[in-house]
A and B are shown apart, each in its own frame.
Chain A
Amino acid sequence: MSEAIERPASGAPPWEYASAPESTDIVRLDDRYGLFIGGEFVEPKSGRWFPTISPSTEETLAEVAEADAADIARAVDAARDAAPAWQHLAPAERAKFVFRIARQLQERAREFAVLETMNGGKPIREARDIDIPLAAAHFFYYAGWADKLEYAFPGRGTPTPVGVAGQIIPWNFPLLMAAWKVAPALAAGNTVVLKPAETTPLTALLLASVVQEAELPPGVVNIVTGAGETGAALVGAAVDKIAFTGSTEVGKAIRRATAGSGKRLTLELGGKAANIVFEDAPLDQAVEGVVNGIFFNQGHVCCAGSRLLVQEPVFDVVLDKLKERLQTLRVGDPLDKNTDIGAINSKAQLDKISELVESGVDEGAEIYQPECVLPERGFWFRPTLFTGVSQSHRIAREEIFGPVLSILTFRTPEEAIEKANNTPYGLSAGIWTEKGSRILHMAERLRAGVVWANTFNRFDPTSPFGGYKESGFGREGGLHGLEPYLSFDGGAQR
């Protein structure tokens, strides 16, 4: 080891950070947000509203409408009415509408970033540098496909839209998940009813105003807010396709609910990814990647590298480096530009993380958490490592969806593959090694939809994303992300 950095006994780094809060002046919130149906905000027929809060302060930011089945039917009708004209618009013109959305998101990027952080608790640095730019890039990428669909699937006849898509998205990347859903659907000529998560509706509602500014025909994009019941109503409504991102449990319920309906379905569900570090890996780089893999976005990431598999000869050194790195992570105000780990998205999620972490201790794993002062209000969880984890432990099997890393070891590549694949999930995996041939050998054998080599948690609009096994089916992103939104009138059908 090189000379250790001297630290105060508390484990805090030997330097002070000045606070660097991002101003919230750029965000103007209404007291109340109705449902965005047919191009305008309307009062819910349900007559019900619910508060949406900041998870870092527990303050109410606004009230949003709770859509019931009648509201959903109205939104689906609006989407249905808008479908023929949107489908038959010249593709180049449809492209230009989607380009407009991309450009407007770029124009208003900081406003979206601040609001995303306020409503969801993620660090402003991540919202500003990752979520919002990627969301805009998704619209830009798919805009370009709108008038090139005939090149995407040669030999399958004329591509036509599926019709009306019901889209249900999670709370971990609210605007980005909206972009993943809406951009390919619009480019392919579908109209949509989007339901954001109940804890993070505000950037989706701001997206509605961008849709208005872009002068999309009314009803092409509809955005309805609510919780699980609202989502269930959307699944049961007269839509042609459901696209869902969320938990495996709800994904299974949606598959059952749509059985026999003929509705097209894509599911992007949970994960329990293995991040595999070989002894020849560049270890400092690997440790950064492991930290990014599990602590990015508080670990609220379906593809998070939540199981670290370390080759035995380097276990001690990797663990030491990880512990050292954890002490420098800053947990706290997500609006502070120095913050690494923001607020846990909700009380319910905090309870779930706490319960699983307790199970880890109870089942005999060894816990490590750096000392750090947590704010008094809001929902917080310290970055957490577990060693002495066996494959049967709940923390090695279940998706925690929080800043909690379970560390296991392996001796041979075969053992790493065996352990990595020993899960019902199959969303992502990571490999850290200097040896290129080993990367490809491992990538071929890992049963996961995305494999990162010497990097982790990379996303790009051109790159398909999605899971094997119980992590879901269908792909979002890239050329493959168009297919779920298209039918073909000739050639081979899927």
Chain B
Amino acid sequence: MTERLEVRRTAKLYIGGAFPRSESGRSYEVTAHDGRPLAQASRASRKDLREAVVAARAAFPTWSGAAPSLRGQILYRVAEMMEGRRGQFEAELADAGAADPARGVSASIDRWVWYAGWADKLAQVVGATNPVAGPFFNFTLPEPTGVVGIVAPGDQALLGLVSRLAPAIVSGNTTVVVASERSPLPAVSLAEVLATSDVPGGVVNVLTGHTSELVPWLAGHMDVNGLDVTGVPAELLADTERSAADNIKRVHRAPDADPFDQAARSPYEITAFTEFKTVWHPMGA
């Protein structure tokens, strides 16, 4: 009797809808919480990051131009695809040392569903018609900021990431994600889910590697419009915010709440990376 040999996955980057290795040829070892070696993950370079920003920028017109209801359906599709692969996510969270992997996966799936519902409601809650004192029709709408860099939290490798990513893309932003350095595999699997969920290539780009190496490049990139610094280590935060000033990036950090708690989700996590546009139009026969 011969035992069948398992086919192992190569954990790659996710850039522009494709799964390349780092152009640098570098990788780093990922271990489980108990020290077991799990895989080699790509260690993204500055060039990989720049490629990811180019891909995100290229995807922005289509994604931000899609009907909000379509974006909502696509985010819901992400939840559907995750549900089908929950066993894989649970195993990865268990390896990462999660106390209750099933709960983490369920909460992550439900968070996609929750934000999916906001796609065609956000403007109804945060937009306005403004009764200006004159014969004008005047209204204000939220619009996506552009390319948003997301530094995912180091712990809560799945729910923490989903809680940052879903609100960023639901409004039409495109993103470059720096995955949890210690536990990147759930992010790699999420990229594989996104690739099969009708999310256009380039809307989400996922880089694995060394956070301290990638964050300064991301923060200083002149074609990145917003930066979610939730996963930026405390010692790097001030430098990161300083770099972000060069092109007036919108910098945002997740609320200080248990990611399982309802306080960790809010439409104002979406508006952290939206602009508000006001339009004036004359009224008269």
> Measuring CB to CB, which residues of chain A are less than 8 angstroms from any residue of chain B?
92, 95-96, 99, 137, 140-141, 143-145, 147-148, 151-152, 413-414, 436-438, 440-442, 444, 461-462, 478-479
A231 CB to closest chain B CB, in angstroms? 32
Do B118 and A437 have beta carbons less than 8 Å apart? Answer: no
Cβ-based interface call for B134 (8 A): no
A144 CB to closest chain B CB, in angstroms? 2
A-B pairs with lowest CB-CB distance, top 8 = A144-B117, A440-B283, A413-B285, A437-B282, A437-B284, A479-B124, A441-B285, A440-B137
Measured CA separation A413–B283 after assembly (Å): 13
Cβ-based interface call for B277 (8 A): no
B10 CB to closest chain A CB, in angstroms? 33
A91 CB to closest chain B CB, in angstroms? 10
A130 CB to closest chain B CB, in angstroms? 15
Cβ-based interface call for B38 (8 A): no
Measured CA separation A438–B285 after assembly (Å): 4
Contact with A along B104-134 (1 / 0, CB 8 A): 0000001001101111110011000000000
Do A148 and B121 have beta carbons less than 8 Å apart? Answer: yes
Measured CA separation A194–B113 after assembly (Å): 28
Do A479 and B281 have beta carbons less than 8 Å apart? Answer: no
Contact of A145 among B113, B117, B119 (CB under 8 A): B117
Do A144 and B121 have beta carbons less than 8 Å apart? Answer: yes
Measured CA separation A96–B113 after assembly (Å): 8
**Chain B positions within 8 Å of A137 at CB level:** 69
Do B124 and A147 have beta carbons less than 8 Å apart? Answer: no
**30 interchain pairs, CB-CB under 8 A:** A92-B114, A95-B114, A96-B113, A137-B69, A140-B72, A140-B76, A144-B72, A144-B116, A144-B117, A144-B121, A145-B117, A145-B121, A147-B117, A148-B114, A148-B117, A148-B118, A151-B125, A151-B267, A152-B125, A413-B285, A414-B285, A436-B281, A437-B282, A437-B285, A438-B284, A440-B137, A440-B282, A441-B284, A442-B285, A462-B69
Do A479 and B121 have beta carbons less than 8 Å apart? Answer: yes
User: Given A144-B121, A462-B124 in contact, is the A444-B283 Cβ separation under 8 Å?
Assistant: yes
User: Given A137-B69, A148-B118, A479-B121 in contact, is the A92-B283 Cβ separation under 8 Å?
Assistant: no
Cβ-based interface call for B73 (8 A): yes
Do A99 and B284 have beta carbons less than 8 Å apart? Answer: no
**Chain A positions within 8 Å of B124 at CB level:** 462, 478-479
**Chain B positions within 8 Å of A147 at CB level:** 114, 117
Do A141 and B283 have beta carbons less than 8 Å apart? Answer: no
Do B285 and A143 have beta carbons less than 8 Å apart? Answer: no
Measured CA separation A92–B109 after assembly (Å): 11
Measured CA separation A478–B123 after assembly (Å): 11
**Chain B positions within 8 Å of A461 at CB level:** 69, 120
Measured CA separation A413–B73 after assembly (Å): 42
